[in-house]
Amino acid sequence: MTDMTDMTDIIDVALLKLRLDGQRFTVGRQYILRALSELVGPVTIPMLLDHQPKLAQSSVYRNLAVLEHAGLVSKIALGDDHAHYELGEALTKHHHHHFVCTSCGRVEDVTLADSVERALDKALQSAADEVSFTLHHHRLDLVGLCSRCTGGATKLRRSVK
Ligand SMILES: [Zn+2]
Ligand SMILES: [Zn+2]
Ligand SMILES: [Zn+2]
């Protein structure tokens, strides 16, 4: 996954993609990509700032938005409170999805079997064809409750009844 992604490759792709977007590859943006390549899985902004103290909180939101627009960073979120970030698939070459917990906001990577991805692509392609939509790729979050939250949520449902 991300640990297999060489920082030199990341810099090459980032320079190209940011240039296409008319953006500069500033030191702050380099720090973000480096931190994301060092961390495992999707992380929140506080986790990012914790890992790389040189990042300024004031510019990190804006820089993440620029990197996301350039396709270098992926944002996974139900709401801004629990936004998680990771290197984009253009950098990692690792297509995957996410389990998103609506209770605690935890986000975890999930890699589906190739056969599932192929079936998914086929179904989504026919849905796109129906409305003449040109499909490039898909993004899909699996939304629900994580194992750590299930106990509490079940009790809550029972007590409401
Ligand atoms: Zn949870
Ligand atoms: Zn992920
Ligand atoms: Zn997929």
pLDDT > 60? residue 39: yes
Distance separating alpha carbons of residues 9 and 131, to the nearest angstrom: 37
Confidence tier at 34 by pLDDT (50, 70, 90): very high
Taking the centre of ligand 2 as the mean of its atom positions, its distance from the CA of residue 14, in whole angstroms, is 18
For ligand 1, a single-atom ion, the residues with CB < 5 A are 101, 103-104, 106, 146, 149
Q: Give the ligand with the smallest distance to the CA of 113.
A: 3
Taking the centre of ligand 3 as the mean of its atom positions, its distance from the CA of residue 143, in whole angstroms, is 15
Taking the centre of ligand 1 as the mean of its atom positions, its distance from the CA of residue 152, in whole angstroms, is 10
Taking the centre of ligand 3 as the mean of its atom positions, its distance from the CA of residue 138, in whole angstroms, is 6
Q: Which two tokens stand for residue 72?
A: 């270098």
Per-residue pLDDT, 42? 95
Distance separating alpha carbons of residues 147 and 63, to the nearest angstrom: 33
pLDDT > 90? residue 44: yes
Taking the centre of ligand 1 as the mean of its atom positions, its distance from the CA of residue 40, in whole angstroms, is 18
Q: Give the ligand with the smallest distance to the CA of 87.
A: 2
Taking the centre of ligand 1 as the mean of its atom positions, its distance from the CA of residue 105, in whole angstroms, is 6
Whether 35 contacts 55, CB under 8 Å: yes
Per-residue pLDDT, 77? 82
Confidence tier at 157 by pLDDT (50, 70, 90): low
Q: Which residue has the higher pLDDT, 140 or 78?
A: 140
User: What tens digit of pLDDT does each residue of 110-155 get?
Assistant: 999 999 999 999 999 999 999 999 999 999 999 999 999 997 555 5
Per-residue pLDDT, 151? 79
DSSP line for the chain: -GGGS-HHHHHHHHHHHHHHTT----HHHHHHHHHHHHS-S-B-HHHHHHH-TTS-HHHHHHHHHHHHHTTSEEEE-SSGGG-EEEE-HHHH----EEEEETTT--EEEEPPPHHHHHHHHHHHHHHHHHTT--------EEEE--HHHHHHHHHHHHHH-
Taking the centre of ligand 2 as the mean of its atom positions, its distance from the CA of residue 3, in whole angstroms, is 13
Per-residue pLDDT, 40? 86
Q: How many CA atoms lie within 13 A of 62 on its CB side?
A: 9
Q: Which two tokens stand for residue 83?
A: 């936004």
Assign residue 93 a region (left: φ > 0; alpha: ψ between -120 and 50; beta: otherwise).
left
